Structure 1
Amino acid sequence: MYKLPKFDNSTLLDQALTHRSYVNEHPTSKDNERLEFLGDALLNFLSGEYLYNKYQEKGEDELTRRRSALVDEKQLAMFAENLDLNSKMLLGNGAIRDRGRENPNLLSSTFEAIIGAYYEDQKLDIKPVRHFVKQFFDSVPENIVVSRSNVDSKNRFQEWVQSRGITTPPIYNTRQIGGESHTPEFKSEVFVDGHKEAFGTGTGRNKKDAEKEAAEDGLAKLKKQGLLL
């Protein structure tokens, strides 16, 4: 079991643990969504840096796939469980009844919020955050990272885009279309190279799943058109 880092400002830690379903029942609280956004960006950078230094012989495509596997929802949820965040999260009664403490989306989002909060707590000094997350990255077995990286649909779709000589990455337009605060439903459309028509569309319980489904839909359409083997 890993331990949470020591926070100088405990209010930031409390906010990182607070889901919006809890705020709905306790309006004076602040939810963790902004911290989640910050933590997501930090984890993408730190995982990329970690892999860049660890695998100096790997190319961009391989590193991109491995980064996606290292910080996907399932893996971040495992990190959260290692920190016992499932018992520490502040959830509304509805989310608790719906087994929110076992929900990979809530767990992974809370882990991201913890990373964002710790970065703020350390006065935007990334060094202690890097040290904290490295232990989690080191704990992931090599074979798991490789197996996950080989099936990531978003990476495969981006590789197809790059193979067409398009330098700009696919753009995902993702929005919530329904559901409760603890069980939302998202819709995502993926666009390529300024085209107004979406290449693929997907839905999911979180943004990442919706975007992966959109990429899978795009890949399926490309195969149907004979543009992808």
Structure 2
Amino acid sequence: MKSLIRKLREEFGLEIRDEEIIRVALTHTSFREYNAPINFERLEFLGDSVVNLLVSEYLFKKYPNEKEGELSKKRSYLISEKNLSYLAKKLKLNEFILLGRGEELDKGREKERILCDTFEAFIASLYLQLDFNSLRNFFNLLLDEYFPSEFLDTKTKLQEITQEKFKVTPEYVLLEERGPEHDKEFEVGVYIKGKLMGLGKGKSKKEAEKEAAREAIERLGEE
């Protein structure tokens, strides 16, 4: 675990004062029962809320024009078991988890649920000893490094591009709707500063919008 602590201090510049609480965060309940006020399960409970707060604030600031529904979708994506376990692996927490013999034999270090819970407990162990700004900066760095815009849908990526280049948001216009009620096809155009930049077709408006955004991204890349 010393290499992890060293990485947190030297690479991320975190002032780690309590190494023991990090060890507790990496000690799964299958390894040993903790009846102390601070234990793996209690840290995981706290970490779940801290991660939710950090991700919510990150998205709130990163996407100032997004509606609540879209922000909620992005948050659900980022805090999913799959993605939190992915972050745990990137930090190599799986190498330091203390597991019971049964979980060790059952490849517990590769289980998404265990890795996700461990990541949340780990974040709680940092929350309890760092100032919030330091924790926020560390967490945002993880998201920026491991979840770049390539992970987001085409509409989100196009919006990021247009806001950066033109300081405007794309406008999606339904151009045509054809076919019977049970088998409709939609055609949508996406306009940037009044200029048609992409066309998309799909069985739903959302699908057509994503295709239009994809074409617009490709076109902007060629200009």
TM-score normalised by the shorter chain: which range applies? 0.5 to 0.7
Question: Please, which of 103, 106, 109 is the counterpart of residue 95 of structure 1?
Answer: 103
Note the C-alpha offset of 1:27. Answer: 8.2
CA distance in structure 1 between the aligned counterparts of 2:153 and 2:43, rounded to whole angstroms: 29
User: Residues 146 and 38 (structure 1 numbering): CA distance in 2 closer, same or farther, change over 3 Å?
Assistant: farther
Structure with higher RCO (Cα < 8 A, 6+ apart): 1
CA distance in structure 2 between the aligned counterparts of 1:114 and 1:6, rounded to whole angstroms: 15
Question: Is the Cα contact below 8 Å between 1:70 and 1:145 reproduced in 2?
Answer: no
> TM-score, normalising length from structure 1?
0.58
Please name the residue that 1:141 is paired with.
148
Note the C-alpha offset of 1:144. Answer: 2.4
1:36 aligns with 2:44: yes
Runs of 4+ in 1 over 3 A off after TM superposition: 2-6
**Deviation sequence 1:65-87 (CA, Å, 0-9, x none):** 10111111111111100111111
Please name the residue that 2:211 is paired with.
none
Question: Please, which of 136, 150, 157 is the counterpart of residue 130 of structure 1?
Answer: 136
Please name the residue that 2:21 is paired with.
12
CA distance in structure 1 between the aligned counterparts of 2:80 and 2:15, rounded to whole angstroms: 25
Long gaps (5+) in structure 1: 150-229
CA distance in structure 1 between the aligned counterparts of 2:26 and 2:98, rounded to whole angstroms: 6
Please name the residue that 1:191 is paired with.
none
Question: Is the Cα contact below 8 Å between 1:23 and 1:31 reproduced in 2?
Answer: no
**Deviation sequence 1:71-130 (CA, Å, 0-9, x none):** 1111111110011111100110001000000001111111111110111122xx311110
Note the C-alpha offset of 1:141. Answer: 2.9
CA distance in structure 2 between the aligned counterparts of 1:83 and 1:48, rounded to whole angstroms: 21
Please name the residue that 2:76 is paired with.
68
Please name the residue that 1:77 is paired with.
85
Q: Which moved more, 1:135-144 or 1:44-53?
A: 135-144
**Deviation sequence 1:148-189 (CA, Å, 0-9, x none):** x9xxxxxxxxxxxxxxxxxxxxxxxxxxxxxxxxxxxxxxxx
1:50 aligns with 2:44: no
SS at match of 2:20: helix
CA distance in structure 2 between the aligned counterparts of 1:146 and 1:47, rounded to whole angstroms: 18
CA distance in structure 2 between the aligned counterparts of 1:20 and 1:138, rounded to whole angstroms: 31
Long gaps (5+) in structure 2: 9-13, 157-223
CA distance in structure 2 between the aligned counterparts of 1:135 and 1:111, rounded to whole angstroms: 15
Among all aligned residue pairs of Structure 1 and Structure 2, give the percentage whose two residues are the same amino acid.
38
Select the structure of larger CA radius of gyration.
2
User: Residues 37 and 15 (structure 1 numbering): CA distance in 2 closer, same or farther, change over 3 Å?
Assistant: same
User: Residues 32 and 145 (structure 1 numbering): CA distance in 2 closer, same or farther, change over 3 Å?
Assistant: farther
Note the C-alpha offset of 1:21. Answer: 0.3
